Structure 1
């Protein structure tokens, strides 16, 4: 048989079989408009995606501007709504300026690629989101991956560099395990070595900081001249889109150089209208952010999660039977089960019992750490938490045998 006798896609069948045997096959499931089960899987941390004001904001923008932006923002897609929201978000998070992208993914790629490049060094935490990883790959910079939250490793990478420019990447709240980055320590190291710090606040906005202004605001680094922030509008703000926040010079540079901005259609006006309304709700109701952490603590207690001690590299964990002396650090409650098939079975059992949870397997998380990923929401009720207790207690008792 010659090479031309085979389909150029024949290799996919073998790859699919390998994934299936490893318990890593993925599939799409249609979500109804009104779910019958309790949702502990989405990133709608503040419960704003269905808030009446948020829906009304999206509808009003749709009526005013139409269904889409109509083109790149550098051509015809830039509306007054885009620029108003950029100012609104920047002021809320304490940054001088902001630039909206069509998603958090494109915002991260645009920021990393445009602010690094050939002849520079990028130092990235091993647990950074795939969008930051892809930014590293596209940057053509030399990339050093450091252990999770290891400040000393970042220090060593920067100290040994030969490049003139360096960028350090981290999430403020890591999406898979909910841990906080040691931002003050990272910033001190970056400042000592003249490096730029880029912080992804996707899971910090709406949850950490004063009234949900993010972890950078909480630790006193909002608006720092050597820090750039990226975030998404699709989690706590219940909409869609992304943004990069920082000095005015950074915004200007991204408009000139970020390919994911220049060659992408502008974010749809309805998404901006909804996000703007969500930010107004959060500003008026700052207690929503505190409610997320309160409910996360309850979920962690239900799942018997070990106490986290400290935020830096090398932090220790108490035994699973210990009580939680501190509330969880974010909306994310990670229940590590190890084997991917065990995690899939546990998630399926939860869904059958009326509770939807996330299921994270490699390559999203390291091998041997497949897990249930629960997310707390400000809008969870007493009845919701009672149902979660019944279902999670029963399911985890079986899976942990």
Structure 2
């Protein structure tokens, strides 16, 4: 079933494999511009039914990791056009993940004090400039609480980034609403202490996510708009949120009428609990549109999710790093090149080594 075509919103996919979004930090400097090496990397993996790019910051203050490719300048749009053209030339389809990290940043990366739902700081590290030079993991800064003007401007930034993505030739956009980033920060109790219409009740805490999603869907079409959520993952927080799974179900019910391209669950990373099958059944009961899952899935476990009807697309992350022809290897039963965790330094930053130099199977 995973090898069969699938109609995802406005986009026809050759199969149900997705390449999950993975930060690789390989942009040209200055300007965080996508480059020819990135175009080669994504084109090598174009046999996936859908590629989802690494997170692309929608604005300078939305940036939380150095060397990541933005989608808010003309140079960045032009760079991404090289990427989408390369993927489309290989017959692939590609979505861009739109990213605002909120408080998971530092002024040395964002260029100003990071922003969030509230001025809450928890221990956390991101990839940024080191005092002694070069890049590495640094502690995040304390954010300032967003004003209504900030919220309005950020929603406008998401909309403009989505329009920029269409201009760059992307087939769809995915809003990053997971992993403790800005959209997620509004949804969780530990990072949202607001007493206005964006804080307090569950309905208020999901408001920002819904407004961003609706605004982007209205701008570029719901069938080209998706969102990623992670209700069973605790990342960027000291402990799990007692209400996030319930809140997420209520939010998904409100998202359902939009008819998004897909709803993407990130699972089984960082600090997590297993998503219960009962929860998957609840989601499917209230959400009839395409669902994607990601998080250490194998070909067998992915097939099982499809057969049970809990998902329509299966996203794979690290296997695509070391196996550019991952889909073919799965189809033909060929051995996979394992991820070399000793070479983990090549995941973030650097050149072609550990990026575009993995060979296809012979």
Query: Does the alignment reach a TM-score above 0.5?
Result: no
- Structure number with greater Rg is 1
TM-score (norm 1): 0.27
Bigger helix fraction: 1
Larger RCO (CA under 8 A, 6+ residues apart): 1
TM-score (norm 2): 0.29
